[in-house]
Amino acid sequence: MNCADMTALIDAMDEENVEDLLALFAGVELTIRCPPRSGLVMLTVKDSFETDFHLGEVLVTEARVLFRGCEGFGMAMGEAPRKALARAAADAVLRCPEPTAIQENLVARLKQEAVTLNRRLAESAALIASTKVNFDLMSGA
Amino acid sequence: MGYVAVKGGNEAIENACRLFAYERIKGNSPVLGVDQIREQFYLTVDRVMGEGALYAPELAALALKQSAGDTLEASFMVRAFRATQQRLGYSLPVGAEKMRVVRRISSAFKDIPGGQILGATSDYTLRLLDFDLLKDDAARRNAFRERIFGSLPADAEIPATFPKVIAILRREGLLEESIAASHPEEEVFDITRRSLIFPAPRSARLQALARGETGGMLTLAYSSMRGYGNIHPTLGELRIGYLPLTMPHPVTGEPYVAGEVKVTEAEVLARFQGNDGMPRFSLGYGLCFGQNEIKAIAMAILDRCTRTEKPSCPAEDQEFVLYHIDGIEAMGFCNHWKLPHYVDFLSDLDRLRKAQDLARAGKVQEDAHADA
């Protein structure tokens, strides 16, 4: 799992877990380079003929954080300043080339989150899979 | 058309706004939380996001609460909010083959690669009122949860992604060639930055259709289905799922997934004669925010209709379709009739009275001639 995938796990966290994660950074020399700000990202998609078009905008919040000279970027869906900050901090820490204790703690916490998220996705996938259908043709059709 | 400004009435207007807000809360029912609307009226929330052209479930739910459930008003509020926000960037283009699918059906083929997944749908319900919902409570919900999870097979899994059904037709040369190749676009048109021009490039048409009002689009598509036009399609594939919102990371330049966006995609097949004389299926494409199957299918039909070379009905007329499907513009124009038109109407009255006077005078003259 790369750094971007790791921080993407934060997007699936609820508010309480985001606060727990942010608590990990207490005492760590982080500098907020750009405080969280909300804005829009235009979602560009491809149709079935490979024509790009703009589907519509998505409300997001972004933030930037510095950790030991390493700039971290965080973007989260919706009006979510704490989540954007957590993603930016995690991005900076995980991309910092020199190993740190916070890095280890963060990876352990995110791996734990990955387990929870995968369990939730598997549960949802099982519900969806239970609706897989095999229609039979009626006689004479 | 002449307009006249009016002034005054501030107090009455403020009271009317307050009264509207009071109507929503005057009963004794518990306070309706925005989270309840977002979770339990999710299809309406999806519709508002699609028509407001902004993916923001929390705000769409808030808009629905504020508008007392009026989807046009709610979409208007969402679109007005979007106008206050700066654009931070553009996502990397993503196709629906990357979708995390939660529902996927085809009416063209019985057996499709990956299988038909009905997902969460009301298609097979009898549309009979469920009076048990009158007694909905936590205990009932918990029992339902236990039932639904208790009956799940342990090995039930679905693939991460599904191949496209139309790929089968493409492989056999039964589907029209790429439109992009025959009508290349230098840049993606953005109707939020530039006015529509006609004939509109494909990217502009699709963007306009994606933010269209469901009812308006259904009406036009239905007119074509019923015979005011020549498109009677087959649903190649309908899929609902989540597309990743991927940005280039501003520092590393690598793809960065900001989150997931729920969308509905429809591909409809219609017959046509190819330019090279070889008959092939043509394809209509629909994609919109949230779970809104009617809109995606209607969009696909209208996409196909508006590519007709010689339009013969309203649904095939690109300008007619694109200028009339925006719910916010349509409701705005309709609503404006409620504003004071005193001078216009006074002028109409004057003209009518004069016309009546002339008619009476003419009648008197005619009578005089008849008597003579």
Query: Both B118 and B78 in a single domain?
Result: no
Residue A62: closest C-alpha in chain B:
B88
* A139 near B CB under 8 A: no
With 0.80 as the threshold, say if the pTM is over it: yes
The dihedral through the CA atoms of A131, B49, B92, A37 has a sign that is: negative
B67, B73 contact by CB (below 8 A): yes
Number of domains present in the structure of chain B? 2
Query: Both B174 and B74 in a single domain?
Result: no
> Measured between alpha carbons, how far is B203 from A51 in angstroms, rounded to an integer?
7
- pLDDT value of residue A138: 78
Domain extent at residue B73: 10-82
- pLDDT value of residue B121: 96
Higher pLDDT, A137 or B126: B126
Chain B nearest-CA distance from A54, in A, is 6
Query: Both B70 and B104 in a single domain?
Result: no
Chain B nearest-CA distance from A131, in A, is 5
* B289 near A CB under 8 A: yes
Query: Both B172 and B62 in a single domain?
Result: no
- Report yes or no on B71 lying in a domain: yes
Give the residue from B62, B75, B91 with the most A CB atoms within 10 Å of its CB, the best one to mutate.
B91
Query: Mean pLDDT across the stretch A128-136?
Result: 89
Query: Both B122 and B170 in a single domain?
Result: yes
- pLDDT value of residue B318: 96
- Report yes or no on B327 lying in a domain: yes
Considering only CA atoms, which of B222, B359, B221 is closest in space to residue B303? B221
Query: Both B109 and B72 in a single domain?
Result: no
Residue B266: its H or E element: strand B255-273
Query: Both B245 and B198 in a single domain?
Result: yes
Chain B residues within an 8 Å CB radius of A50: 95, 178, 180
| Contacts with A, B 311-370, CB within 8 Å | none
- Report yes or no on B350 lying in a domain: no
Q: For residue B216, what are the contacts with CB-CB under 8 A and spacing of at least 6?
A: B324, B325, B326, B327, B330
Contact A51 B116 (CB under 8 A): no
Query: Both B50 and B178 in a single domain?
Result: no
Chain B residues within an 8 Å CB radius of A73: 249-251, 256
| Contacts with A, B 31-60, CB within 8 Å | 49-50, 53-59
* B202 near A CB under 8 A: yes
Ordered by start, the domain boundaries in chain A are: 3-128
Average pLDDT, chain A: 92
Compute, in degrees rounded to 10, the torsion defined by CA atoms B134, B140, B145, B147: -100
Pairs across A and B, CB distance < 8 A: 216
Q: What is the pLDDT along chain B (372 residues), one digit of tens a residue?
A: 456 677 788 999 999 999 999 999 999 999 999 999 999 999 999 999 999 999 999 999 999 999 999 999 999 999 999 999 999 999 999 999 889 999 999 999 988 988 999 999 999 999 999 999 999 999 999 999 999 988 887 777 788 888 999 998 999 999 987 665 566 678 999 999 999 999 999 999 999 999 999 999 999 999 999 999 877 889 999 999 999 999 999 999 999 999 999 999 999 999 776 677 788 999 999 999 999 999 999 999 999 999 988 899 999 999 999 999 999 999 999 999 998 888 888 999 999 999 999 999 988 788 888 777
Query: Both B107 and B256 in a single domain?
Result: yes
- pLDDT value of residue B2: 53
Q: Does residue A128 register a pLDDT over 70?
A: yes
Query: Both B26 and B131 in a single domain?
Result: no
* A131 near B CB under 8 A: yes
- pLDDT value of residue B284: 96
- pLDDT value of residue B370: 78
Query: Both B108 and B77 in a single domain?
Result: no
Give the residue from A37, A52, A66 with the most B CB atoms within 10 Å of its CB, the best one to mutate.
A52
- Report yes or no on B371 lying in a domain: no
Query: Both B266 and B290 in a single domain?
Result: yes
Chain B nearest-CA distance from A26, in A, is 24
Q: For residue B315, what are the contacts with CB-CB under 8 A and spacing of at least 6?
A: B220, B221, B223, B224, B228, B229, B231, B301, B302, B305, B306, B321
Q: Is B95 exposed, middle or buried (0-12, 13-18, 19+ CB in 10 A)?
A: middle
Would you say how long chain A is, in residues? 141
> Measured between alpha carbons, how far is A6 from A107 in angstroms, rounded to an integer?
8
Given A58, A75, A129, which is nearest B157 (Cβ)?
A: A129
Chain B nearest-CA distance from A105, in A, is 22
B203, A51 contact by CB (below 8 A): yes
Contact A58 B185 (CB under 8 A): no
Give the residue from B122, B157, B256 with the most A CB atoms within 10 Å of its CB, the best one to mutate.
B256
B218, B294 contact by CB (below 8 A): yes
Q: What is the DSSP letter of B314?
A: G
DSSP for B342-354, written as a single string? HHHHHHHHHHHHH
Contact A132 B245 (CB under 8 A): no
Domain boundary residue among B18, B47, B82?
Answer: B82
> Measured between alpha carbons, how far is B108 from B110 in angstroms, rounded to an integer?
7
> Measured between alpha carbons, how far is B183 from A38 in angstroms, rounded to an integer?
36
Given B118, B149, B288, which is nearest A131 (Cβ)?
A: B118
- Report yes or no on B57 lying in a domain: yes
| Contacts with B, A 10-69, CB within 8 Å | 11, 38-60, 62, 64
Contact B157 A133 (CB under 8 A): no
